[in-house]
C-alpha cells in the first residue's frame, strides 16, 4: 500500500466552501485612520463627518476613511494601499509608513507579468 490512509482537510475545506459560495468575495473594506494611516476608532471619523455636516468652523482632527488596502485589521495597524475614494483602491501595499516599507516583493509575480509563483 503506497497511498495515504486517510485525508482530513480543515483550513482548505473552509477556503473551498467560501470560494464556491461566493463568501470570499469581500466587500471593499473601509477603515477609519489617523494622519499616519493607522486604524483608529470608527467614532473618530463619524465625529469628523458630523462636524463637517454641521458647518463647524475650527480645527478639525485629521481622521478619515481609507477604502480597500491591506492591514492587520486591528486598532493601531497601518493600512497600506488604501484610497480615500471608494472603489479606487489599487490593492497594492507599496509605501512607507512608520519605518516600514512595503511592496518590495511580489512585483514580478503580480498580475500582468509573471503570474503564478509556482510551476
61 binds another protein (CB under 8 A): no
Q: Closest CB to another protein among 22 and 53?
A: 22
- Residue holding cell 459560495? 21
Cβ closest to another protein, residue 54 vs residue 108: 108
Q: Phi-psi bin for 86: left (phi > 0), alpha (psi -120 to 50), beta?
A: beta
Query: What distance, in Å, lies between the first and last C-alpha atoms of the chain?
Result: 29
How would you label 83-110 residue by residue, b for 16+ Cβ within 10 Å and e otherwise?
Answer: beeeeebeebbebeeeeeebeeeeeeee
Using CB under 8 A as the binding rule, whether residue 41 contacts another protein is answered as: no
Q: By CB under 8 A, is residue 27 in contact with another protein? A: no
The residue within the footprint of another protein, chosen from 23, 36, 61, 72 (CB under 8 A), is 72
All three cell numbers of 69, joined, read 488596502
Binding residue for another protein, selected from 27, 87, 100, 112, defined by CB under 8 A: 100
* Binding stretches for another protein (CB under 8 A): 1-5, 7-13, 15-17, 19-20, 70-72, 74, 77-78, 80, 91-94, 98-111, 113-119
Amino acid at each position: 500500500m503506497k497511498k495515504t490512509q486517510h485525508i482530513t482537510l480543515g483550513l482548505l475545506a473552509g477556503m473551498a466552501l467560501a470560494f464556491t459560495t461566493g463568501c470570499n468575495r469581500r466587500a471593499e473594506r473601509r477603515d477609519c485612520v489617523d494622519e499616519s494611516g493607522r486604524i483608529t476608532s470608527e467614532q473618530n471619523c463619524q465625529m469628523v463627518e458630523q462636524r463637517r455636516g454641521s458647518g463647524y468652523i475650527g480645527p478639525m482632527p485629521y481622521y478619515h476613511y481609507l477604502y480597500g488596502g491591506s492591514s492587520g485589521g486591528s486598532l493601531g495597524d497601518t493600512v497600506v494601499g488604501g484610497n480615500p475614494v471608494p472603489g479606487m483602491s489599487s490593492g497594492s501595499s507599496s509605501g512607507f509608513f512608520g519605518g516600514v516599507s512595503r511592496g518590495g516583493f511580489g512585483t514580478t509575480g503580480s498580475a500582468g507579468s509573471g503570474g503564478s509563483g509556482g510551476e
